[in-house]
């Protein structure tokens, strides 16, 4: 094993590593951030910034940023990963001017900045969040005094869109006020941040309580908190609502931060949280009418986590559309219901409920992978329009503004 202390001086080092592996290496360090590295049988261990990080040799060759291996204009890999020797090891390794330099068999040279390696190490990613969020209940959100965007400024100012997206990323909901009460204006405001995702409900939809579709949303009934399209293999990312007209009473919109509730479950019962994150559940949408024939099925756990840092990124919770539970072994069924009940209890706590009256002109954007929506029952004519947006494009827009998403 090679262990080289990097100091702000230049020297020659000859180290015996194993019975037949001998290297003469040039080592130059940085006075401000001393580093060490160790060459193991199949990987390199870099100690930089006081933390050890492991880098597999094949990984180091595969991620080479030289012009021959990587196209910096298209940000695409040139090197053929399938052609890299799986037993590859560098012939020479050194650190110079805060860069790791590896010379491979055949003479190819790879050069990495130490900061890039640190940023892209598994050890760093394991400790980092993919997307910063502020989890909330009703009081937390109200006390934050999150401002709504204004239609005129939102449509003309990229800075206003950036502020809107920052709030959306942090809280999972964001509002635009003073929007003209038309389908066309609603469509225009949504396209400032993303592409519209067309589904079986159409591109832009506009509906009343006429039961024109086989869904309880097309009624005057109260709807409990839920996420939409859990019966899609990839649920829609963003839900947009705009109430164009309401001549009656009731009909307030309910918003609940599903991640806030789920993290309460994780704190109280890691076992129940884990069960909800690993047991697949089927959701289903069946519609049979003269004008629409649909049968959609989506399968996934109630909670989806990134495996490397256990960060929650998606929740599927829809008691209306949950199908027959036949994907759980018998010995887990009772435990799953207990875990589901614990989550439901947290979701239904009054302090978790944010009630909003969507009057004409107020458009709400909801992260359908995080925030649940519902409504209270209503009377009279209530006309609602909206759409689904593609999640990937919303996040792409946010990254274009330099936001972490």
Residue 75 sits in a domain whose CATH number is 3.30.2020.30
Q: How far is the first Cα of the chain from the last one, in angstroms, to the nearest whole number? A: 39
Residues 21 and 149 in one domain: no
H-only helix segments in 172-229: 183-190
pLDDT per position as a tens digit, 188-243 = 999 999 999 999 888 999 877 654 544 555 667 889 999 999 999 999 999 999 99
Q: For position 326, what pLDDT does the model report?
A: 94
For 363-372, b where at least 16 C-beta lie within 10 A, e where not — what string? Answer: bbbbbbbbbb
**For the chain, which ranges sit under pLDDT 50?**
1-31, 211, 213-214
Q: For position 126, what pLDDT does the model report?
A: 95
Q: For position 3, what pLDDT does the model report?
A: 43
Residues 182 and 35 in one domain: no
Number of domains the chain is built from? 2
DSSP 28-86: ---SSS-EEEEE-SSEEEEEETTEEEEEEHHHHHHT--STTTEETTTTEE-S-GGGS-T
Residues 112 and 149 in one domain: no
Residues 319 and 396 in one domain: yes
Q: For position 247, what pLDDT does the model report?
A: 86
Of 98, 122, 146, which residue is a domain's last? 122
CATH number at residue 346: 3.60.130.10
Q: For position 250, what pLDDT does the model report?
A: 86
Residues 191 and 339 in one domain: yes
Q: For position 168, what pLDDT does the model report?
A: 98
Structural domain span for residue 70 = 2-122
Residues 67 and 175 in one domain: no
Task: List 196's β-bridge partners, or say none.
Answer: 389
Q: Does residue 132 lie within any of the structural domains?
A: no
């Amino acid at each position: 094993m090679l262990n080289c202390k990097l100091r702000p001086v230049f020297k020659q080092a000859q180290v015996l590593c194993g019975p037949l592996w001998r290297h003469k290496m040039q080592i130059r360090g940085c006075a401000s951030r001393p580093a060490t590295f160790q060459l193991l049988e199949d990987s390199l261990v870099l100690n930089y910034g006081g933390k050890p990080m492991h880098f597999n040799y094949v990984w180091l060759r595969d991620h080479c940023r030289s012009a021959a291996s990587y196209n910096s204009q298209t940000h695409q890999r040139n090197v053929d990963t399938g052609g890299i020797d799986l037993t590859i090891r560098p012939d020479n390794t050194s650190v110079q001017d805060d860069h790791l330099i590896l010379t491979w068999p055949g003479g190819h040279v790879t050069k990495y900045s130490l900061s890039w390696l640190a940023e892209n190490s598994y050890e760093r990613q394991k400790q980092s969040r993919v997307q910063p969020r502020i989890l909330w209940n009703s009081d937390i959100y109200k006390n934050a005094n999150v401002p709504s965007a204004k239609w005129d400024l939102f449509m003309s100012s990229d800075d206003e869109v950036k502020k809107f997206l920052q709030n959306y990323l942090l809280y999972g909901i964001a509002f635009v006020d003073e929007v003209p009460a038309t389908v066309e204006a609603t469509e225009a405001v949504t396209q400032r941040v993303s592409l519209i995702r067309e589904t079986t409900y159409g591109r832009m939809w506009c509906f009343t309580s006429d039961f024109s579709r086989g869904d309880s949303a097309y009624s005057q009934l109260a709807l409990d908190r839920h996420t939409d399209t859990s019966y899609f293999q990839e649920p829609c990312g963003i839900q947009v609502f705009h109430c164009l007209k309401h001549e009656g009473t009731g009909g307030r919109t309910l918003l609940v931060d599903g991640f806030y509730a789920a993290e309460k479950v994780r704190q109280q019962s890691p076992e129940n949280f884990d069960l909800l994150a690993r047991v697949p559940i089927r959701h289903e949408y069946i519609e049979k009418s003269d004008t629409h024939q649909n049968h959609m099925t989506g399968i996934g756990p109630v909670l989806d986590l990134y495996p490397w840092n256990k960060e929650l990124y998606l929740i599927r919770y829809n008691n209306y559309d949950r199908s027959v539970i036949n994907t759980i072994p018998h010995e887990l069924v009772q435990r799953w219901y207990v875990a589901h009940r614990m989550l439901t209890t947290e979701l239904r706590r009054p302090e978790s409920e944010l009630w909003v009256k969507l009057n004409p002109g107020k458009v709400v954007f909801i992260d359908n992978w995080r925030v649940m929506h519902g409504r209270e029952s209503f009377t009279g004519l209530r006309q609602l329009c909206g759409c689904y947006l593609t999640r990937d494009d919303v996040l792409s827009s946010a990254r274009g503004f330099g936001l972490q998403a």
